[in-house]
């Protein structure tokens, strides 16, 4: 039996996609639409205050293609807050037009696979704190996808030695480092919480970099042999200042 | 042919998820909403009386993410009662807004795999009675997922010796014991009743423990080689006292 | 090439699940509801007459869980009658509230696998007639699931010898006999008619017996190596006398 | 690399399933219903004229079970006509009640696998013309299913020799010949056009023959080792004379 | 570890399918319909201007079968423009009837697998520019399908040598060349952007050529061993001049 990995865990995370019901929105009066947008901007302001107080973070993305229209990403210290935020959106005026779609529940995760980290007291390291409770970068584009590790006869991630797992992930990390400054990444774990095992959230100024990094990593041994991927979704950052324009008819 | 397992079976169980139709709820008058909530609280009171009489148990959870809004768990002596409860919810006023989603039908199950239990007369053991007809703990969080055992050429759970199955499950149980006081578990069997073969319902004060226990168990040989998992759903406990607030606009 | 099996075939069978639209039903006037129920009871009476004339059989079950609310099982000499019955339900008043769900089209089937049956003239045997044109037992619970046999490199049901298939099914039948008096079974074949290859419909006084028999059979070699299962659905018998109560608000 | 097969290709084919919206239909006035039926009968008359001019063929089937209510099969020389027919149905009055379901786009196909056909000039053969541009038989029942050939390590249809493919298909054809007079078959190819690789449309006077032929063929080596099947749908022929009765309330 | 491929990347691409809501369209007044069509034609005119300025390209296709009614293909320099176009359609009058369906997000891609291209400075080659920023041909028919390369134990595309990958793709290209003048092809990559790994968009005067080329290529070693395919969708070109007729009742 392989030695189980030890993780450090941070904020609870909700990826929440919504399709906007434009037909119903158009049948709503201009006054009601204005009120709905204003109320939504107030919600965003409240969320920003939470972020300023270092009690969470969030971003909204305009999704490309028909999988959804908006992707919300929320990080909070507790699952209670994530459920309350969902409910607050649904109870709000604009919530009537934000039809819930695919969502993903997970917790920010760091593993001890990097051999250079062995023996260090990471809990006290401020960089660790920053990674476990990350403030989402306001980069122009985001990409989300869930993944899992294979448990097949010929390739069973959970059966191989911890040292081998560390080596494979180290090589994988080396590929990632080539994209420093171009791609930021947050890993969240969903084992016991949602489908798949991990969620990968990427940020970039140029969405071509999502294609380049994921493509190059597909040749990494850890991916080639052990990775299974769910669906990918990409979106463009929606700033609070652009919300009124987004919903304007 | 491997020797079939002998099970002890308890209460029939229904996991019933619902999405709340907030848009229609908002279009309902305040008086109708109050009546609907009051009627629902009376239903809950009736269910609580059943529990006090040791004729069943139940809990409601606020689901995180968009898979559902509420997860009901009902345990009753008969399948008839489970169908009647579903119908009673659907006929109630608030039932119009509780759109049925994924559900899971099973029966509380104990197996004889623990070698220390061999030869004991478990039927008369009050602890066995308590496990077969369990009162759900009012812990803050619940997690549900269905699972099955593989029947592949290279890993066929139903072909291996009973002694080997017992050993694998014993090791698995040892991992579980590390979480005593942190995670409670109810196993229900759904072979012949629903998709998958078993349902696992976990309870915790801290939802991070769901991730930790399922993650660590993924390295157990019985999981690594033989387990297939369905989707995971987690929720936060909804007390009767909090129902009015939950539905308040 | 393995010798193809020879089947005896009986009545055409339709398993038809429906979700009841309680929200719309509540918006219907009491008089319209009464008329709809009365018309539905007349339909049931007509179906019962068909059964008395030995020209078919049927039963209705209240489904546990959210997969459906009602499961209709119809057996008739022809596929034309099965389509007409579906249409008659849809055209009826209550049909507006019976939203069609999963269905399964098959034909009652007996195979010649039992070695004790070789050489007998089964066509003239009245017990064969009774099994090919069965009157459904009015037992309290029913269970339905579809299944198929594997066609893999390592386990290909359609490639192994007829004698081996007979042996495997004979052992399987021995497990079934232990449940005589507790579980009744009807096998229908759907090759060329619907997804999967066979449908299994079980009847029991105690639904725990569904779990026990399917669980024990999972250790039979024919299941362990060759069986694939679809979804399971269980329900509680709905007598005509209970119909008005079922739909009462 | 195995030698690619050479096909002869005929009419473009659309299998188009529809669910009838009986609830909305009942809310329509009798006059509107009469007009909708009359307009639909005129459409059918126009289609029949196309068939009389040998410029296409079509049939409508009443589907058994809840997968659909009606199955339309259209054959035409061009994909343009198939799209226009779909649009014409959708624009018609009755189109408002014919909710589109599963469809399948393909082209009638003959392959050169029969060794007796080698070297013949089949293009000039009138029987070939009749098979590539077939007039659908007005037999009482139809069955449709899509299929594909496996491309696995252990069984890869597209890697084996053309001679071996020819032998396997010849044996398969021999099974089919046993059903001459009982079952008619049209093979259409959908590689590059739709999911799966081929569509099989069967016609019979007795739907039991669908079960018998597909069951027996499942023991053919080409099926046992190389075939994957999609879903099966069966229906009963709907003549123009029976249309008014079909839709009558 | 195999050497990762180097790609050249061009315009961002959106394949966007829509089902037209004919029932609601018929309930709209003739004046509103005229206005909606006129507004849509203006949108098309704006898109055409973008194409004339070499800042993008697009085409609309009438889909055969029920998967969708219309397929839009948009190519633009940025993902921002693709999201804005989707939103512009949804905000337009006719957008109320264009129900979003399956979509696919990707980027035009060229790989360096052709051995004859090694060492050339392709960036300066105007033919490369034309392929990375392609103006869609106005051929009568289009076909779209997504695909991926296998990562199995016995066939793992991302593990084999770059030279072997080049050889396999070269042979594949040779099959494609036989269809010069009959089929045009645009390859887009979706790794990191959407499900599957590549999208293939074909254009032809005769849709039979879609079947012929994909069928013949299925025998290519690279397909036989390494390819997995998603669903195929085909459509007939819709010129701006034909839009009014398309929507006319």
> pLDDT, tens digit, for every residue of C47-63?
999 999 999 999 999 99
Percentage of residues of chain A with pLDDT beyond 70: 95
Q: Tell me if D145 is assigned to a ligand binding site.
A: yes
pLDDT of amino acid C6: 86
**Cβ atoms of residues D99 and D21 within 8 Å:** yes
pLDDT at C127 over 90: no
pLDDT at C106 over 70: yes
pLDDT at A121 over 80: no
pLDDT of amino acid D6: 86
pLDDT at A114 over 80: no
pLDDT at C159 over 90: yes
pLDDT at A170 over 60: yes
pLDDT at C123 over 80: no
Helix (H) or strand (E) holding B244: helix B243-247
**Cβ atoms of residues A131 and A185 within 8 Å:** no
pLDDT of amino acid E125: 78
- Neighbouring CB atoms inside 10 A of A203's CB total 22
What pairs with residue C142 in β-bridges? C203, C235
Neighbours of chain A (3+ CB pairs under 8 A): B, E
Burial of C133 from C-beta contacts in 10 A (0-12 / 13-18 / 19+)? middle
Helix (H) or strand (E) holding D18: strand D7-20
pLDDT in tens, C14-43: 999 999 999 999 999 999 999 999 999 999
How many Å apart are CA A210 and CA A200, to the nearest integer? 11
pLDDT in tens, E190-207: 999 999 999 999 999 999
pLDDT at E222 over 80: yes
Token representation of residue D25: 């239909």
DSSP β-ladder status, A183-189 and A227-229? unpaired
Residue from A145, A170, A215, A246 carrying the catalytic annotation: A145
pLDDT at D123 over 80: no
pLDDT at D79 over 90: yes
**Cβ atoms of residues B198 and B148 within 8 Å:** yes
Burial of C210 from C-beta contacts in 10 A (0-12 / 13-18 / 19+)? buried
Asked if the Cβ–Cβ distance from C158 to D219 is below 8 Å, we say: yes
Which value, in Å, is the radius of gyration of the alpha carbons in chain C? 19
pLDDT in tens, D12-68: 999 999 999 999 999 999 999 999 999 999 999 999 999 999 999 999 999 999 999
The mean-pLDDT minimum among C67-71, C163-167, C222-226, D119-123 falls in D119-123
pLDDT of amino acid D3: 83
Shortest distance between the Cα of C162 and any Cα of chain B, in A, equals 20
Q: According to the CATH classification, is domain E7-247 in 3.30.70.1030? A: yes
The 8-class DSSP code of residue E136 comes to: P
pLDDT of amino acid E113: 55
pLDDT of amino acid A232: 98
How many Å apart are CA B83 and CA C63, to the nearest integer? 7
pLDDT band for position D127 (cuts 50, 70, 90)? confident
Token representation of residue A176: 């990632």
Asked if the Cβ–Cβ distance from C152 to B153 is below 8 Å, we say: yes
Token representation of residue A227: 């990775």
How many Å apart are CA C3 and CA B196, to the nearest integer? 33
pLDDT of amino acid B234: 98
Counting every residue, how long is chain E? 249
Percentage of residues of chain E with pLDDT beyond 90: 90
Shortest distance between the Cα of C20 and any Cα of chain D, in A, equals 14
Block residue for tokens 């849509």: E40
How many Å apart are CA E132 and CA E127, to the nearest integer? 9
pLDDT band for position A90 (cuts 50, 70, 90)? very high
Helix (H) or strand (E) holding E46: helix E30-52
pLDDT at A115 over 60: no
pLDDT of amino acid B178: 96
Block residue for tokens 């080049």: E166
Over chain C, what HEC string results?
CCCCCCEEEEEEEEEEEEEECHHHHHCCCHHHHHHHHHHHHHHHHHHHHHHHCCCCEEEEEEECCCCCCEEEEEEECCHHHHHHHHHHHHHCCHHHHEEEEEEEEEEEEEECCCHHHCCCCHHHCHHHHHHHCCCCCCCCEEEEEEEEECECCCCECCCCCHHHHHHHHHHHHHHHHCCCCCEEEEEEECCCCCCCCEEEEEEECCCHHHHHHHHHHCCCHHHHHHEEECCCEEEEECCHHHHHHHHCC
Percentage of residues of chain D with pLDDT beyond 90: 90
* Averaged pLDDT, E3-17: 93
How many Å apart are CA E25 and CA B170, to the nearest integer? 64
SS3 E127: helix
| ipTM of model over 0.90 | yes
Q: Tell me if A148 is assigned to a ligand binding site.
A: yes
DSSP secondary structure of chain A: -PPPP-EEEEEEEEEEEEEE-HHHHHTS-HHHHHHHHHHHHHHHHHHHHHHHTTS-EEEEEEESSSS-SEEEEEEES-HHHHHHHHHHHHHSSGGGGEEEEEEEEEEEEEES--GGGTT--GGG-HHHHHHHSPPPP--SEEEEEEEEE-B-SS-BTTTS-HHHHHHHHHHHHHHHHTTTTTEEEEEEE-TTTSSSSEEEEEEESSTHHHHHHHHHHTTSHHHHHHEEE---EEEEE--GGGHHHHH--
CA angle E53, A66, A144 (to 5 degrees): 100
Asked if the Cβ–Cβ distance from D65 to C79 is below 8 Å, we say: no
Average pLDDT, whole number, for chain C? 95
SS3 D51: helix
Helix (H) or strand (E) holding B171: helix B162-177
Distances D131 to C223, D112, D125, D148, E178 between C-alpha atoms, Å: 43, 13, 10, 21, 28
pLDDT of amino acid D4: 81
pLDDT of amino acid C126: 82
How many Å apart are CA A114 and CA D230, to the nearest integer? 46
Token representation of residue D47: 């289609």
Percentage of residues of chain C with pLDDT beyond 90: 90
pLDDT in tens, C173-215: 999 999 999 999 999 999 999 999 999 999 999 999 999 999 9
pLDDT at A179 over 90: yes
Token representation of residue A220: 């990494």
pLDDT of amino acid A111: 82
pLDDT at C125 over 90: no
Percentage of residues of chain D with pLDDT beyond 70: 95
* Averaged pLDDT, A19-47: 98
Q: Which of D79, D95, D159 sits opposite E234 (nearest CB)?
A: D79
How many Å apart are CA B131 and CA B100, to the nearest integer? 29
pLDDT at D107 over 90: yes
Shortest distance between the Cα of E219 and any Cα of chain D, in A, equals 5
Positive/negative CA dihedral, B227, B228, B233, B239: negative
Counting every residue, how long is chain B? 249
Token representation of residue E168: 């396999």
* Averaged pLDDT, E66-75: 98
**Cβ atoms of residues D235 and D18 within 8 Å:** no
DSSP β-ladder status, A70-76 and A183-189? unpaired
How many Å apart are CA B166 and CA A136, to the nearest integer? 47
pLDDT band for position E152 (cuts 50, 70, 90)? very high
pLDDT band for position A6 (cuts 50, 70, 90)? confident
Residue from B97, B104, B145, B226 carrying the catalytic annotation: B145
A145 is catalytic: yes
Asked if the Cβ–Cβ distance from A86 to B66 is below 8 Å, we say: yes
Residue from D61, D104, D145, D226 carrying the catalytic annotation: D145
The mean-pLDDT minimum among A2-6, A36-40, B44-48 falls in A2-6
pLDDT at D116 over 60: no
Q: Tell me if C148 is assigned to a ligand binding site.
A: yes
* Averaged pLDDT, C225-234: 98
Asked if the Cβ–Cβ distance from D65 to C95 is below 8 Å, we say: no
pLDDT band for position A124 (cuts 50, 70, 90)? low
pLDDT in tens, A128-163: 889 999 999 999 999 999 999 999 999 999 999 999
Q: Which residues of B touch A (CB under 8 A)?
A: 19-20, 22-23, 26, 62-67, 69, 141, 143, 145, 152, 154-155, 171, 202, 207-208, 210-216, 218-221, 223-225, 227, 231-232, 234-236, 246, 249
Please list the ranges in chain B whose pLDDT falls under 50: none
pLDDT at C90 over 70: yes
Token representation of residue A201: 């959230």
Block residue for tokens 């040989």: B221
How many Å apart are CA B64 and CA A80, to the nearest integer? 8
Token representation of residue E175: 């099959």
pLDDT in tens, E13-50: 999 999 999 999 999 999 999 999 999 999 999 999 99
Distances E182 to A224, C29, E73, E110, E145 between C-alpha atoms, Å: 36, 64, 20, 21, 18
**Cβ atoms of residues D70 and D60 within 8 Å:** yes
More confident site: C171 or C114: C171
Token representation of residue A202: 């990427």
E103 interaction partners in chain A (CB closer than 8 Å): 65-67
- Neighbouring CB atoms inside 10 A of A104's CB total 26
């Amino acid at each position: 039996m392989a030695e189980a990995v030890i993780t450090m865990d941070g904020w609870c995370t909700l990826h929440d996609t919504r399709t906007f019901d434009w037909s119903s929105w158009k049948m709503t009066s201009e006054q009601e639409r204005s009120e709905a947008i204003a109320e939504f901007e107030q919600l965003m302001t409240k969320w920003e205050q939470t972020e300023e107080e270092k009690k969470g973070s969030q971003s909204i993305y305009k999704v490309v293609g028909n999988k959804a229209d908006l992707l919300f990403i929320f990080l909070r210290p507790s699952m209670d807050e994530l459920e309350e935020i969902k409910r607050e959106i649904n109870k709000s005026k604009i919530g009537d037009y934000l039809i819930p779609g695919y969502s993903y529940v997970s917790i920010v995760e760091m593993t001890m696979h990097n051999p250079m980290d062995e023996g260090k007291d990471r809990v006290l390291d401020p960089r660790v704190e920053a990674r476990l409770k990350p403030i989402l970068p306001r980069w122009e584009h985001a990409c989300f996808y869930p993944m899992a590790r294979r448990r097949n006869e010929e390739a069973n991630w959970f059966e191989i030695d911890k040292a081998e797992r560390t080596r494979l992930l180290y090589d994988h990390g080396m590929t990632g480092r080539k994209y420093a400054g171009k791609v930021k990444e947050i890993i969240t774990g969903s084992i016991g919480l949602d489908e798949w095992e991990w969620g990968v959230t990427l940020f970039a100024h140029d969405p071509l970099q999502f294609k380049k990094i994921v493509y190059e990593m597909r040749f990494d041994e850890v991916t080639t042999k052990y990775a299974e991927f769910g669906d990918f979704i990409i979106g463009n950052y929606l700033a609070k200042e652009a919300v009124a324009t987004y919903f304007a008819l």
